[in-house]
């Protein structure tokens, strides 16, 4: 019984820092996404571009091209009416933050943000549309 209690104590000692790290990651990731959306709302595409990971910066080259892509392809992100953070999970070695975004017309969109840690903090390496969840009666 003493061994079992010791094993539980050791496990809890390791689990607590892991949970704290996950919460820290979650907070940093959500802060990055929120900051980018705030920059989009202000049409500050240079600031919004600063939250993009190197692969995205290389793909678009300039903040203006990046801003045009967001305005045309992700208008709900450019001008969100409401944003809710859903689950954060690891897939393929990357953390993905699921986000529910409501646009100005009241339509809900579900997006997955692929996040990477960098020297500048968490950055956005991918954004993809997700199907809307099934609604049951």
The CATH number covering residue 90 comes to 3.10.450.50
Task: Kindly report which listed range (22-36, 70-84, 99-113, 115-129) carries the lowest average pLDDT score.
Answer: 22-36
Residue 109 domain flag: yes
pLDDT band at 24; cut points 50, 70, 90: confident
What's the pLDDT tens digit per position in 67-110?
Answer: 999 999 999 999 999 999 999 999 998 999 999 999 999 999 99
Q: Is 105 in contact with 82 (CB distance < 8 Å)?
A: no
Given a cut of 60, whether residue 33 has pLDDT beyond it is yes
Tens digits of per-residue pLDDT, 40-72?
Answer: 999 999 999 999 999 999 999 999 999 999 999
pLDDT value of position 45:
98
Token pair listed for 52: 């993009």
Measured distance CA(126)–CA(97) in Å, rounded: 10
Average pLDDT over every residue of 35-39: 98
Within-domain flag for 135: no
In a domain, 32, yes or no: yes
pLDDT at 137: 58
Domain-embedded: residue 136: no
Burial of 128 (0-12, 13-18, 19+ CB in 10 A): exposed
Please report whether residue 137 resides in a domain.
no
d(CA 120, CA 127): 19
Give residue 17's domain range.
2-130
How many structural domains comprise the chain? 1
Instruction: Give yes or no for residue 18 having a pLDDT over 90.
Output: no
- Above 70 in pLDDT, residue 14? no
Assess contact for 103 and 80: CB atoms under 8 A: yes
């Amino acid at each position: 019984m003493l061994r079992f209690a010791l094993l539980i104590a050791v496990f809890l000692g390791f689990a607590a820092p892991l949970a704290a790290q996950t919460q820290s990651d979650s907070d940093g990731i959500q802060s990055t996404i929120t900051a980018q959306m705030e920059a989009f709302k202000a049409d500050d595409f240079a600031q919004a571009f600063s939250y993009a990971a190197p692969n995205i910066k290389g793909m678009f080259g300039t903040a203006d091209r990046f801003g045009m892509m967001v305005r045309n392809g992700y208008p709900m992100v450019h001008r969100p009416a409401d944003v809710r953070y859903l689950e954060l999970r690891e897939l393929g070695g990357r953390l993905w933050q699921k986000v529910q975004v409501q646009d100005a017309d009241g339509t809900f969109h579900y997006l997955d943000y692929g996040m990477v840690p960098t020297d500048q903090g968490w950055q956005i390496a991918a954004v993809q549309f997700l199907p809307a969840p099934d609604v049951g009666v």
